[in-house]
Amino acid sequence: MIDYPEIIFRLLSAVLIGCIIGLDRNLHGKPTGIKTLGLVALGASLVTMASMSFALFHAVNDASAVGRAIQGIITGVGFLGAGVIVHDQTTERVHGLTTAASIWVTAALGIVCGMGSWQIASVAMVIVLLLFIIGRPLERMLHRRWLNKTIEERAAITKHEE
């Protein structure tokens, strides 16, 4: 059985990680934010810890019980993430995929915090933040490069056809 300071540390760590990811989403005007992703991570951590405690309390050395709880978290959070994905039929564009993915990865980070795997949680959080910080400008640069190339190719084809 884990003691109260460890329980508090695991739950607060999950919330903190969720809030940090939520802050990025909030600052970029996305539908999820600090509270939402903090709650997602807290809930995932709580369910993971509860399933681990249940297995220990009942002297069940069955890792599949914890695995089933984690599967339930991932499935449930998948439905939550699906709620933020929107297909705009007029532009044929899909919005909300990054937000849905951030909800999903925040739940996974909550699971890892619930298990007390601090190295995994910290490395994964840094990678998520790097993706948010570096990914956006990189996508814009590549998008501009590809679009400009496409426009240049179209101009060359049009000029060749004349």
The model's pTM is 0.75
Q: List, for residues 74-83, the tens digit of each pLDDT value.
A: 898 988 888 8
Does 158 fall in a domain? Answer: no
Give me the pLDDT at residue 29, please. Answer: 85
95 bridge partner residues: 86
38 falls in which pLDDT band (50, 70, 90)?
very high
Q: Which domain holds residue 8?
A: 4-134
Give me the pLDDT at residue 158, please. Answer: 56
First to last CA, the chain: 79
Q: List, for residues 47-71, the tens digit of each pLDDT value.
A: 988 888 776 666 666 667 788 888 9
Cα angle 22, 85, 37 (rounded to 5 degrees) comes to: 20
> Using an 8 Å Cβ cutoff, are 47 and 68 in contact?
no
Identify the DSSP state of 91.
T
- Number of folded domains in the chain? 1
pLDDT of residue 90 exceeding 90: no
Does 94 fall in a domain? Answer: yes
Does 38 fall in a domain? Answer: yes
The rounded mean pLDDT for the chain is: 84
Cα 74 to Cα 16, 68, 135: the distances in Å are 20, 10, 24
Q: List, for residues 95-122, the tens digit of each pLDDT value.
A: 888 889 999 999 999 999 999 998 999 9
How far apart (Å, rounded) are the C-alpha atoms in residues 86 and 109? 25
Q: Which of 85, 83, 81 is nearest to 106 (CA)?
A: 81
